[in-house]
Structure 1
Amino acid sequence: MQAFIQGVGIGGSLIMAVGAQNAFVLKQGLMRSHSLPIAALCSIIDALMITAGVAGLGHLIVTFPLIKDIASIGGAIFLLVYGARALKSSFSEQVMAQEGNHGTGTLKAAVLTTLGISLLNPHLYLDTVVLLGSISAQFEGADRPLFGAGAVLASFVWFFSLSFGARYLSPLFQKPKAWCYLDRFICLTMWTIACVLIWPYFA
């Protein structure tokens, strides 16, 4: 079970880093707006990417850098727009959404936003397909899929914990000022990641 435990530890450490996915899942969890399907979709996307990496598909991203370039530019544009929306939202008073009437609105909008934040972020591919895939190469036989299973488990546990755990923070967000700070934090997170993505093309 050593490979499985290492998968949980390494996978969890990569997933728990502050990023666009986590910020989005946190806000939707606080608003109780489609939090379950969003957490499930993020977990499934991670699971597919991790499985692809363990299967040895990481070399495609390394061999064809155009894939990373397209994801970087597209992802940066998406994150800049989403960050601008969060900044705009921070200047309007909000109240805690007890019935899930806020957030991204419809389930379709929530799913599309989740797909955009996840799939247009090249860090997803680098962390899961390339990095975890490379680490899994040190294991042989049944240990390799066990490593992948551990990383997948860490992803599911993290996203569902983040989504449902956000509800316990709801008393803090009864005040509109708290939503203001959260939206500005999300804007800063999105714009920072966007700058990191496009900086190499201007350096």
Structure 2
Amino acid sequence: MSTLSLLPVLKGFVIGAGMIIPIGAQNSYILSQSIKRNHHLVAATICIICDFLLMSLGVFGGGALINSNSMVSLIITWAGIAFLTGYGLLFFKSFYLANKDEMLKEIKPSTRKAVIFTTLAVTLLNPHVYLDTVVIIGSISGQFPEHEKYTFLVGIMLASLVWFYALSFGAAKMSPWLSQRKVQRVINLLVALIMWVIAYSLFITL
């Protein structure tokens, strides 16, 4: 493959990484599941598959469709606000109960089905995901000739694949330290705050 044909892949990788790496609802959830080693690879794989589908939709014209339908955008936004607020409360509960041994026992690991559902909700009920993967990436891909859109898409897909698996494996590897009660309390509080900040940022856009 020539240097010229590699350029769209590299651009896609850098742009994709710049959008995916900043901490958000997806990354927070993957981090929390990886620390617990609770179906973390399942969660990471679902995030990657969703990204692949949404990025493909963006590159091949889906951004205009979402922008043209304000009702779809409104429904997704309100659903996202409700979910992120409620899920933030669950993480805050884990933070609050962390020093109460008898209550801590009530917090059981999530089942595979619950992890799949929650990962899909964290991903698909967050309008920021559509903005990044469909609208913005779709707009950027319009700068490339038709034959280079495919290689650009490969680059942004690789960024998603590398990041989510690196985060999942890395956090699981560091689990003995990250799962210490004091560290876990801080992480749970941070995740709760991130969920609430994202929910509030969605609310003020209405």
Regarding TM over 0.5, the answer is yes
1:71 maps to what in 2?
76
Q: Please state whether the residue corresponding to 1:139 is helix, strand or coil.
A: coil
Change (3 A) 1:174 1:145: closer
Q: CA deviation at 1:34?
A: 0.3
Moved more, 63-72 or 128-137: 63-72
1:182 maps to what in 2?
187
1:98 maps to what in 2?
none
Q: CA deviation at 1:170?
A: 1.9
1:145 maps to what in 2?
150
Q: CA deviation at 1:131?
A: 0.3
Q: Letter of the aligned partner of 2:53 in structure 1?
A: L
Deviations 1:105-148 (A, max 9, x none): 11000000001000000011110111001100111132111101
Question: Is residue 87 from structure 1 mapped to residue 100 from structure 2 by the alignment?
Answer: no
Question: Is residue 135 from structure 1 mapped to residue 160 from structure 2 by the alignment?
Answer: no
Q: CA deviation at 1:167?
A: 2.0
The separation in 1 between residues aligned to 2:97 and 2:81, in whole angstroms, is: 25
Q: Letter of the aligned partner of 2:66 in structure 1?
A: I
Q: Letter of the aligned partner of 2:141 in structure 1?
A: S
2:200 maps to what in 1?
195
Q: Please state whether the residue corresponding to 2:81 is helix, strand or coil.
A: helix
2:50 maps to what in 1?
45
Q: CA deviation at 1:10?
A: 0.1
Deviations 1:40-71 (A, max 9, x none): 00000000000000111110111112221111
The separation in 2 between residues aligned to 1:161 and 1:106, in whole angstroms, is: 23
The separation in 2 between residues aligned to 1:171 and 1:29, in whole angstroms, is: 11
Q: Letter of the aligned partner of 1:137 in structure 2?
A: G
The separation in 2 between residues aligned to 1:38 and 1:71, in whole angstroms, is: 21
- Over the aligned positions, Cα root-mean-square deviation in angstroms equals 1.5
**What runs of 5+ residues in structure 2 fail to find an aligned partner?**
1-5, 102-106
Question: Is residue 10 from structure 1 mapped to residue 19 from structure 2 by the alignment?
Answer: no
Contact 1:90 1:183 in 2 (8 A): yes
Trace 1:98-137 onto structure 2 (pairs within 5 A): 102-103=108-109, 105-137=110-142
2:34 to 25, 29, 35: 29
Q: CA deviation at 1:200?
A: 2.4
The separation in 2 between residues aligned to 1:183 and 1:107, in whole angstroms, is: 20
Q: CA deviation at 1:169?
A: 2.2
1:168 maps to what in 2?
173
1:61 maps to what in 2?
66
Scaled by the length of structure 2, the TM-score of the pair is 0.91
Q: Letter of the aligned partner of 1:9 in structure 2?
A: V
The separation in 1 between residues aligned to 2:95 and 2:27, in whole angstroms, is: 18
Q: Letter of the aligned partner of 1:186 in structure 2?
A: V
Percent of pairs identical after alignment? 39
**What runs of 5+ residues in structure 1 fail to find an aligned partner?**
96-100
The separation in 2 between residues aligned to 1:167 and 1:74, in whole angstroms, is: 30
Q: Letter of the aligned partner of 1:156 in structure 2?
A: L
